[in-house]
């Protein structure tokens, strides 16, 4: 494992971090094996959040108990839930209890989206609250995660002497959210930057055939996931790269990359291959959904991330269009306990403010519905649903 030094406090952080949101929590032993393997191979930064269902409790046993003094533990204050100053303690104390620890090494304000949004919590006294927690050792480092535009990110960075920050960054998002300009701005101020979504929710692990051909023609031969992780690690401004690893092969591949990838090591030819693949992928992507599911639940049961996955599949998937549409109807109209079609959307907007990617979800769902919701397939699904779910009398 290659380690990078936090310029603020001297911590040696593994350049591969474990993003725990996508752990298969229904299979505790599998989670335990993944975490054991990660730690045995040098990973020392683990990220969770109050918002991730069951995640903090899961980690209290398999991570915090056996390994507390060997790791840097991260969690986040759920800003969407905070209504008053008293909520800072409420949610932070809940996190400590659920994790079974007396301190958080890197604690974040979760999902700031604009400077005005940050200012709302600053007026509540969140910075003073955090400084008190740091003074008594319950928080070691205080920062924020961000999903807004570059201008807002830079203003937030300049507004306070943060210990660190976390941004979404991958080879598709160089000009979105904080972007390359934000990354360099933070680094210029001596700010450690943690990276989330290096593969944009797994979208860069399986790429269109044309992009796959570009990578296969490059030397040496690497998987699309390895190309994506290496590209982020190539940036010296990055302290660590979070990956949501839920399968052993994902972990094995990322550990290999993190054991050999030095910042600045990519060649001009490799960077050119990335640029070519990026152009292909962007030309085929309809909506930049990462599948994080923050938009759920929908009041009308629209399966928003699944709808977007199938809608993107009409351009990105190697499978036929008919097969993609059939799977959409099967998953959301036949096998799902509650139907999740895009056409069920009533544009209430409940999802829009929750989206880290700032997608206009109601508008995009309407477009997806026109592409995916075929009357003849819905009619067939209505007939097939009782048979497939075993409800026919």
Q: What angle do CA 344, 348, 352 make, to 5 degrees?
A: 105
DSSP 100-134: T-S-EEEEEEEEE--HHHHHHHHHHTHHHHHHHHH
Low-confidence ranges of the chain (pLDDT < 50): 391-393
CB distance 13 to 44 below 8 Å:
yes
DSSP summary character for residue 11: -
Q: Is 232 inside a domain boundary?
A: yes
CA dihedral (349, 243, 249, 57) in degrees, to 10, reads: -80
* Same-domain pairing of 230 and 266: yes
The two tokens of residue 313 are 């599949």
Q: Is 176 inside a domain boundary?
A: yes
* Same-domain pairing of 113 and 217: yes
* Same-domain pairing of 277 and 341: no
* Same-domain pairing of 254 and 320: no
pLDDT of the residue at 20: 96
Q: Is 28 inside a domain boundary?
A: yes
Return left, alpha or beta for 111; rule: phi > 0 is left, psi -120 to 50 is alpha, else beta: left
Domain CATH for 17: 3.20.20.100
Q: Is 20 inside a domain boundary?
A: yes
Q: Is 344 inside a domain boundary?
A: yes
CA dihedral (355, 316, 178, 6) in degrees, to 10, reads: 110
Q: At what angle do helices 248-260 and 224-233 cross, to 10 degrees?
A: 40
Number of independent structural domains in the chain: 2
* Same-domain pairing of 265 and 359: no
> What residues make up the domain containing 320?
304-388
* Same-domain pairing of 332 and 214: no
Counting other chains too, the contacts that 2-5 makes at CB distance below 8 Å and 24 or more residues apart are: 2/258, 2/259, 2/260, 2/261, 2/262, 3/42, 4/238, 4/239, 4/240, 4/263
* Same-domain pairing of 346 and 200: no
- Whether omega for the bond prior to residue 297 falls within 30 degrees of 0, making it cis, is yes
Burial class of residue 136 in the structure, from the number of CB atoms within 10 Å of its CB (0-12 exposed, 13-18 middle, 19+ buried) = exposed
Q: How far is Cα 288 from Cα 290, in angstroms, rounded to an integer?
A: 6
pLDDT of the residue at 190: 96
pLDDT of the residue at 316: 63
Could you read off the pLDDT of 292-315 as tens digits, one per residue?
A: 888 999 999 999 999 998 888 776
Indicate the residue among 249, 284, 319 that finishes a domain: 284
Indicate the residue among 284, 313, 348 that finishes a domain: 284
**Can you name the residues that pair with 3 across neighbouring β-strands?**
14
Q: How far is Cα 99 from Cα 83, in angstroms, rounded to an integer?
A: 23
Q: How far is Cα 149 from Cα 178, in angstroms, rounded to an integer?
A: 6
Q: How far is Cα 377 from Cα 95, in angstroms, rounded to an integer?
A: 45
The two tokens of residue 98 are 């659920």
pLDDT of the residue at 389: 57
* Same-domain pairing of 194 and 278: yes
Indicate the residue among 217, 251, 284 that finishes a domain: 284
Q: Where are the alpha helices (DSSP H) in the chain?
A: 28-40, 55-59, 65-67, 86-99, 115-124, 126-135, 150-159, 179-188, 209-217, 224-233, 248-260, 268-284, 304-316, 321-329, 361-372, 375-388
Closest CA to 162 of 179, 146, 138: 146
Q: Is 257 inside a domain boundary?
A: yes
Q: Is 295 inside a domain boundary?
A: no
* Same-domain pairing of 316 and 169: no
Strands 45-47 and 72-77 come out as: parallel
* Same-domain pairing of 274 and 313: no
CB distance 61 to 101 below 8 Å:
no
The two tokens of residue 78 are 């759920």
* Same-domain pairing of 274 and 318: no
* Same-domain pairing of 185 and 74: yes
Q: How far is Cα 257 from Cα 254, in angstroms, rounded to an integer?
A: 5
pLDDT of the residue at 392: 40
Q: Is 193 inside a domain boundary?
A: yes
**Can you name the residues that pair with 324 across neighbouring β-strands?**
none
């Amino acid at each position: 494992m290659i380690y990078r030094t936090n310029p603020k406090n001297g911590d040696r952080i593994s350049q591969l971090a474990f993003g725990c949101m996508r752990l298969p929590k229904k299979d505790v032993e599998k989670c335990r094996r993944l975490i054991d393997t990660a730690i045995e191979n040098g990973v020392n930064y683990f990220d969770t959040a109050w918002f991730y269902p069951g995640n903090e409790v899961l980690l209290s046993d398999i991570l915090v108990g056996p390994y507390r003094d060997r790791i840097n533990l991260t969690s986040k204050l759920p800003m969407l839930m905070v209504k008053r100053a008293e909520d800072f303690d409420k949610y932070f104390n809940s996190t400590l209890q659920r994790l079974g620890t007396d301190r958080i090494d890197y604690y974040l304000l979760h999902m700031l989206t604009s400077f005005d949004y940050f200012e709302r919590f600053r007026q509540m006294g969140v910075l003073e609250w955090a400084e008190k927690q740091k003074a008594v050792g319950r928080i070691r480092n205080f920062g924020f995660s961000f999903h807004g535009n570059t201008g807002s990110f830079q203003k937030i960075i300049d507004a306070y002497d943060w210990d660190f920050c976390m941004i979404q960054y991958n080879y598709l998002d160089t000009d979105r959210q904080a972007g390359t300009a934000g990354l360099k701005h933070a680094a210029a101020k001596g700010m450690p930057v943690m990276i989330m979504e290096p593969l944009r929710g797994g979208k860069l692990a399986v790429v269109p055939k044309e992009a796959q051909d570009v990578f296969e023609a490059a030397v040496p031969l690497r998987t699309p996931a390895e190309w994506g992780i290496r590209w982020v690690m190539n940036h010296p401004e990055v302290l660590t790269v979070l990956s949501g690893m839920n399968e052993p092969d994902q972990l094995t591949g990322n550990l290999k990359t993190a054991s050999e990838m030095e910042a600045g090591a990519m060649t001009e030819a490799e960077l050119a291959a990335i640029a070519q693949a990026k152009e292909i992928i962007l030309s085929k992507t309809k909506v930049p959904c990462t599948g994080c599911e923050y938009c759920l639940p929908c009041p009308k049961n629209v399966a928003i991330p699944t709808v977007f996955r199938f809608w993107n599949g009409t351009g990105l998937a190697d499978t036929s269009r008919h097969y993609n549409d059939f799977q959409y109807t099967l998953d959301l109209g036949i096998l799902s306990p509650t139907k999740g079609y895009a056409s069920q959307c009533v544009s209430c907007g409940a999802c829009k403010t929750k989206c880290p990617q700032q997608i206009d979800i109601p508008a995009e769902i309407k477009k997806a519905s026109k592409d995916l919701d075929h009357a003849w397939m819905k009619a067939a699904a209505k007939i097939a649903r009782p048979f497939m779910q075993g409800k026919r009398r």
